[in-house]
Structure 1
Amino acid sequence: MQLYGIDFTSAPRRAKAITVAAGRLEGDRLLLDGLEALPDWPAFEAFLRRPGPWLGGFDFPFGLPREAVRDLGWPDDWAALVAHCRALGKAAFRAALDAYRESRPPGRRYAHRATDGPARSHSPLKLVNPPVGLMFLEGAPRLLEAGMHLPGMHAGDPARVALEAYPGLLARRLSAHSYKSDTRSLQSAARRQARADMVACLLQGGPHVPLRLHGPQDLLALLVDDATGDALDAVLALVQAASAWRCGPPHFGLPPGIDPVEGWILGAEPPSAG
């Protein structure tokens, strides 16, 4: 089975491309076959339409908090919601979220999805640092338009499966230290060491990584050398995708009965599981 991990950006360009890690499972070994940079939207859209079978873990929110969708009067069907947000356009989408945030009491400005708590992820309504709301706006419509299958959310081509990954969730389980920065002055030796330690954990396997990563030395070295962390994040998403594939259809490790408007992050424990 072809597996992908996708480190996403809402504004791809040559200096900050969407990074794709490709791999496949061989027993409990995850073989890293390559890293690919997608520098613009046409390249990403072409990637989504690659013939299956394949499964990808994508690092952006697939859905929005149901509370916000209800309060805003937006469609409560995922495909209709995504089409509505795309039709709004970036400026109107941003303005709607800004106004909604200001309408809420201090300390509760951002509504969250059920998965955001256990995953410790940002609300998809957040527009800066990081702009996950814009990542939803750019990513989710392209999944819909490409006919991707989103388990528990949207029935599409079953040979091309998209699942929401979150490298930060796995990264925190591997290291308590900061490991990346896009700011050159913050790309320190300590962060490089954190990346090296995380790669060592991926190679060895363990309680949080039931799969052992294998790959060419030049690719493994790049995971440590890339100070932005984009390459390592793509591989972390690949690990999450591989774990999902091992769980198999129809849920691929997601809790059954997830909210189809909100979606769920791979590896986030449902509240009932503690």
Structure 2
Amino acid sequence: MHSISSSARPALRLLGLDFSSAPSKRKPVVLASGQRQGQVLRLERLQSFDTLAELAEFLRQPGPWLGGFDLPFGLPRELVEQLAWPQPWSALMDHFCGLSREQIRATFTAFCAARPVGAKFAHRTCDGPAGASPSMKWVNPPVAFMLHAGVPLLRAAGVTLAGLHEGDPQRVALEAYPGLLAREILGRRSYKSDDKAKQTPERLIARKDLLEALEQGRSRLGLRLKLSHAQREALADDASGDRLDAVLCLMQAGWAQTQPGYGLPADLDPLEGWIVSA
């Protein structure tokens, strides 16, 4: 019987996923995959899924992998308590994901209508440090519907959602948010738009600046992104930013791999979850 040294074990595959709750050929779910060696994270592949069924099939494949997923994994505790929804995360997800989008929209609209101007939405603890939209938002962007579509896929595939749900320890999903890393590097400069009229030279320059910073390791994540020339061109040329967002999520997963407990706070709210690297 031969023992395998740790250096001979396959390196952990890292994933970054830019999610859509209603993917299509025009606007697919985009997945970036790569591996980290020391402080260098090499992008190995970009792939896309035109349907949630295709993504579900991918998620069911064996690991090991650690992934950053751009969709919320939890709802604000304040919202859950006020609506008297179930409190354990799994029961809450069963309830929430069992509602139709129309029911969610009506419930959240009524919740917001009863609150003062400037405090319409309830927020999770991680929203502030991450600069993220509240996970109960149903328009611009419809992150509540991303949770509604995405979390059931992860649970059905038997994936572990770190800090929230124990599944396969070889397939671990973290909530990521590309805007957090992009804003650290670019400030308020916009780098993407789905609107053709807004796909400007300025946004192309911003994407190139963002890629240069990632390749040089100029972020607090302490990682350098390794790209081929063709990959760099593909990321810069995607004016929607979906490919680049998947890579930003990949970088956050790479940082989490270097941290005890994936860098999640020890006092993480097991109902709300946390955005990795916030």
Name the TM tier (shorter chain). over 0.9
> Which residue of the other structure, out of 234, 258, 271, is the alignment partner of 1:261?
271
**Distance in 1 separating the partners of 2:137 and 2:277:** 22
State which of 78, 88, 92 in structure 1 corresponds to 2:99.
88
Confirm or deny that 1:154 pairs with 2:147. no
8 Å Cα contact 1:111-1:125 kept in structure 2: yes
Matched residue count: 266
Q: Which runs of 5+ in 2 are unaligned?
A: 1-11
User: Could you report, residue by residue, the CA deviation over 1:59-118 in whole angstroms, capped at 9, with x for unpaired residues?
Assistant: 011000000001111111111111111211222122111111112222211000000011
Comparing 137-146 with 61-70, greater Cα deviation is found at 137-146
1:182 maps to what in 2? 194
In the other structure, the counterpart of 1:143 is 154
CA distance in 1, matches of 2:213, 2:94: 41
SS of equivalent to 2:262 = coil
Query: What is the aligned partner in structure 2 of residue 5 from structure 1?
Result: 16
Deviation, structure 1 residue 209: 4.0
The alignment's TM-score, normalised by the length of structure 1, stands at: 0.95
Please, which moves more after superposition, 209-218 or 35-44?
A: 209-218
Q: 1:245 corresponds to which residue?
A: 257
Q: Which moved more, 1:1-10 or 1:141-150?
A: 141-150
In the alignment, structure 1 residue 205 sits paired with structure 2 residue 205: no
In the alignment, which of 32, 54, 64 is matched to residue 21 of structure 1?
A: 32
One-letter code aligned to 1:255:
P
Name the aligned partner's letter for residue 181 of structure 1: S
Does 1:115 find its partner at 2:133? no
Correspondence 1:129 to 2:143: no
Q: Which residue of 2 aligns with 1:53?
A: 64
SS of alignment partner, residue 180 of structure 1: coil
Q: Distance in 2 between matches of 1:21 and 1:61?
A: 18
- For 1:238-260, what per-residue CA distance to the aligned partner results, in whole angstroms no more than 9, with x for missing partners? 00000001114xx2111112011
Q: Does 1:192 align with 2:204?
A: yes
What is the SS of the residue equivalent to 2:263? coil
CA distance in structure 2 between the partners assigned to 1:86 and 1:246 by the alignment: 33
Shift of 1:20: 0.3
CA deviation profile, 1:6-38 (whole Å, cap 9, x unmatched): 001111011000000010011211010010111
**What is the match of residue 68 of structure 1?**
79
Which string of whole-angstrom CA distances, capped at 9 and with x for unpartnered residues, describes residues 142-171 of structure 1? 212221111211111111000000000000
Distance in 2 between the 1:71 and 1:149 partners?
A: 28
Q: Distance in 2 between matches of 1:260 and 1:140?
A: 15
Which secondary structure does the structure 1 equivalent of 2:56 belong to? Answer: helix
In 1, Cα distance between equivalents of 2:169 and 2:267: 18
**Which residues in structure 2 correspond to 1:198-237 (within 5 Å)?**
198-237=210-249
Helix, strand or coil at the partner of 1:168? helix
State the distance in 2 between where 1:65 and 1:6 align: 23
The aligned counterpart of 1:173 is 184
After TM superposition, give the deviation of residue 206 of structure 1 in Å. 2.5
Residue-by-residue CA offset, 1:158-199 (whole Å, 9 max, x unaligned): 110000000000000111211000000000000000000010
Paired letter, 2:246: A
1:136 Cα deviation from its structure 2 partner? 0.9
Whether the 8 Å contact between 1:174 and 1:208 is mirrored in structure 2 is no
| Counterpart AA for 2:85 | W
Query: How much has 1:207 moved relative to structure 2?
Result: 4.1
Distance 2:51 2:264 in 1: 30
Does 109-118 or 40-49 show the bigger shift? 40-49
Cα contact 2:213–2:219 (8 A) shared by 1: no
CA RMSD of aligned residues (A): 1.0
Secondary structure of the 1:266 match is coil
2:44 aligned counterpart, secondary structure: strand
